[in-house]
Amino acid sequence: MAIRTRARQLAAVSAVAATATLGLTAPAHAEPAEPAAEPLPYVALGDSYSAGSGILPLDPDASPLCARTTLNYPHLVAKRTGAQLKDVTCGGAQTKHFTESQYPGVAPQLDAVDKDTKLVTLTIGGNDNNTFIGAILACGSAGIVTGGNGNPCEKLYGSKFTDQIDANTYPALKSSLAAIKAKAPNARVGILGYPWIVPEKAQSGCFAKMPIADGDVPYLRKLQAHLNGAIEKAAKETGATYVDMAAASDGHDACKPSGTRWIEPVLFGTNFVPVHPNALGESKMAEAAIDSLVG
């Protein structure tokens, strides 16, 4: 019994000593944990270049008519930054679809934006006046007729497309960006320019993929530069950030081989929607958006 009693006493003394030692080494007050940062409320607006139309897999939260992918640049921006994304991008969207429904069951895109929104990205303008589709179809048809020679499209249409951009697209862009700013006054708004679709001049072997006459390749390039210029001007005049894709996408047009090009050609491409960014292109657009808008 004496041995057991002595053992209990020694155990008690050891416990007290251990507690005292811990008390000397432990801080008197634990540091409070850092509060978790709130995810950035982020709304993505825009057309098929924002939606990534033509790339699989499709976004199950979108109308199939929008052909939106989960690999579009808004999803990639959100994934890389931890932003809380509300993606209402839709293939075929025009600036008018910010305030009116594009398809049955598809709300006007500006409905997604409110005073709590802190980041907005978009590409828009290429479908107004059917600029992209109209020019590609017109120049493609003319190029086939001439077997790729001359500049038949430029001769037929001259300044028609650029005149429409100046008269209609530019003011619509400016009005749309102002409306976004009004609904989300504390948001950073970034509008991306369109990556290059064609090179500066005709390239050997490209006619099979992009049936544009040699002399009309620079004509289409200038048309796209004019559209991007209108987008940049509207952004500057409304306090939005213009995300310039020109330098980054140079040399990655639809005439380049797979793995280099960011835009898929009319023929023999990988996307089910031609003349649109592929997954690599959307990834590069995400990088540009992050570099310009998130920091």
pLDDT (0 to 100) of residue 36: 57
Q: Does a structural domain hold residue 23?
A: no
Q: Does a structural domain hold residue 259?
A: yes
* Lookup: tokens for 284: 């590069």
Q: Does a structural domain hold residue 131?
A: yes
- Is the per-residue pLDDT at 15 higher than 70? no
- Is the per-residue pLDDT at 119 higher than 90? yes
- Is residue 276 annotated as part of the catalytic site, yes or no? yes
User: Average pLDDT for residues 134-142, to the nearest whole number?
Assistant: 94
pLDDT (0 to 100) of residue 56: 97
pLDDT (0 to 100) of residue 274: 96
For 26-52, letters b (16+ CB in 10 Å) and e give: eeeeeeeeeeeeeebbbbbbbbbbbbb
Q: Does a structural domain hold residue 10?
A: no
Question: Is 53 within 8 Å of 66 (Cβ atoms)?
Answer: yes
Report how far residue 213's alpha carbon sits from residue 18's, in angstroms, rounded to the nearest whole number.
Answer: 87
- Is residue 53 annotated as part of the catalytic site, yes or no? no
Residue with tokens 């048309």: 223
| Catalytic position from the list 75, 97, 252, 276 | 276
Q: Does a structural domain hold residue 209?
A: yes
SS3 content of the chain, % helix, strand, coil (to 5): 45, 10, 45
pLDDT (0 to 100) of residue 38: 85
Total-model pTM = 0.87
Report how far residue 273's alpha carbon sits from residue 133's, in angstroms, rounded to the nearest whole number.
Answer: 12
Q: Does a structural domain hold residue 2?
A: no
- Is the per-residue pLDDT at 23 higher than 50? no
Q: Does a structural domain hold residue 30?
A: no
133 or 78, higher pLDDT: 78
| Full DSSP string of 149-167 | -S-HHHHHHTTHHHHHIII
Name the residue among 135, 169, 167 with its Cα closest to residue 154. Answer: 135
The CATH number for 199's domain is: 3.40.50.1110
Cα-Cα-Cα-Cα dihedral sign, residues 143, 144, 148, 150: negative
- Is the per-residue pLDDT at 163 higher than 90? yes
- Is the per-residue pLDDT at 20 higher than 90? no
Structural domain of residue 273, as residue ranges?
41-293
35 or 194, higher pLDDT: 194
Residue with tokens 């005292």: 20
| Catalytic position from the list 48, 53, 176, 249 | 48
Q: Please, what is the average pLDDT of the chain?
A: 90
- Is the per-residue pLDDT at 22 higher than 50? no
Structural domain count, the chain:
1
pLDDT (0 to 100) of residue 126: 97
Q: Does a structural domain hold residue 29?
A: no
**2 — pLDDT class (breaks 50, 70, 90):** very low
